[in-house]
Amino acid sequence: MEFELGERATLGRRAECDIPIRDTGASRLHAEILKNGKDFLIRDLKSKNGTLVNGETVDEHWLAPGDRVMIGHTILAFYLDKPRNRWVGRQLEGYHILEFLSEGGMGAVYRAKQISMERVVAIKILNEKLVQNKDFIERFLLEAKAAGRLNHANVIQVFDVGMNNGTYFFSMEFVDGPTVGRLLRDRGRLSTEDCLDIILPMAEALDFAHKNSLVHRDIKPENIMINSDGQVKLADLGLARSPNDEMVDLVDGKKIVWGTPSYMSPEQAMGQKLDGRSDLYSLGATWYHMITGGPPFTGNSDPEIMEHHISTPLTPVCERSRDVSREVGDILERLLKKHPEERYQTGGELAEAIAACRGRMRSPAKEGGPTASDSGRFRKLLADTFRFRKRANGEDDTI
């Protein structure tokens, strides 16, 4: 979703705000953006949780193109020109760019047509600011190829990686549906059954990735997608790497932490070496958000949230959502144990636990296969998918 900025724009949970933020972490009147000539100033309006720009809490900040404003758990990207206009209508190495979809940390994603195969794909084009860094480009190419090795029904397939006149890109399967993050912003939370039907294939996808020596490192609602057939897909392997790789800042060589603080495992927050159990923690944090309406921990800054993951006891799921069964709560809370050895050890082990729980939840009439009520529930989920497509054509799904 894009917002045109005038002389003054207000941001917050109030419906009358110029940029409404449907996020429990946002104050009713959270911040404002003021125009001064060609420049724009964002000012926090004494909000409860603060306003962050590029990860730093600010009272006032002059915005620059590419700045990312975080209010609660909602991220907005600031641009002086519309990102979709940069490539739409142009051709890139055998692809015709049709539509801007979203902007992420590594670059922009577009819907495109692969001319040789006559199929619709998604293309991620590397951020122009990062092209100058040879180490980053090397990592970009290695990770795209690593993602291409994963051929699984619940993992978005990478087709091609390349470079043309200094522009680096990779093409991948196009998913014609929303992220779980979008569904949460629309609906607040998901039912227990919908959660199980989403988390189960994600556990299987992670089990496959881990068996191929890849750790995703950024499992979150925005990286889980649902296509028009109701199939769940794991997205954005841009942070996936071998468990033996170190996390290195490509600018000055210092150790840094990859990932999204709201869903980050304790060992990831501490900058330790990771294995698949870290992804399972992040999947648990995502599930917690899906079923309760909010992530396990919140705070006024990324370091504060990360510290909560490391040392703050988890509020039991059933205290946040009293309609969640004890069995479901036990599975979810085991994923969110502070120590990796106390969690499920593999995605396969988690998938078995979820499948058994889901089987016990269903009545005997359902055990033989889907019933009319199942079909109705999935039709509702697909209705959300198509409503998303009609309403948000070209929308940045990080907003």
135 is catalytic: no
Q: For 23-28, which contacts have Cβ atoms below 8 Å and span 24 or more sequence positions? A: 23/71, 23/72, 23/73, 23/74, 23/185, 24/72, 24/293, 24/294, 25/49, 25/71, 25/72, 25/73, 25/74, 25/294, 25/298, 26/71, 26/72, 26/74
Positive or negative, the CA dihedral 260, 263, 269, 272 is negative
Question: How far is the CA of 89 from the CAs of 34, 99, 183, 366, in angstroms?
Answer: 33, 8, 30, 49
Residue 387: CB atoms within 10 Å:
12
Would you say how long the chain is, in residues? 399
- Reference 147, options 233, 277, 264, 235; nearest CA is 235
Q: Which uninterrupted H or E stretch holds 311?
A: helix 302-311
d(CA 301, CA 128): 28
Assess contact for 39 and 5: CB atoms under 8 A. no
Instruction: Please choose, from the candidates 142, 213, 203, the residue with its C-alpha nearest in 3D space to the C-alpha of residue 331.
Output: 203
As a whole number of angstroms, the distance between CA 108 and CA 89 comes to: 15
Give the span between the Cα atoms of 150 and 214, in whole angstroms. 9
Compute the CA torsion angle 275, 281, 283, 289 (nearest 10 deg).
-160
- In 3D, which of 202, 185, 234, 194 has the Cα closest to residue 381? 194
Cβ 102 vs Cβ 87: under 8 Å: no
DSSP 257-305: --S-GGG--HHHHTT----HHHHHHHHHHHHHHHHHSS-S---SSHHHH
Q: Which helix (H) or strand (E) element contains residue 125?
A: strand 119-126
Catalytic residue (one of 194, 218, 236, 396) = 218
Q: Which residues are catalytic?
A: 218
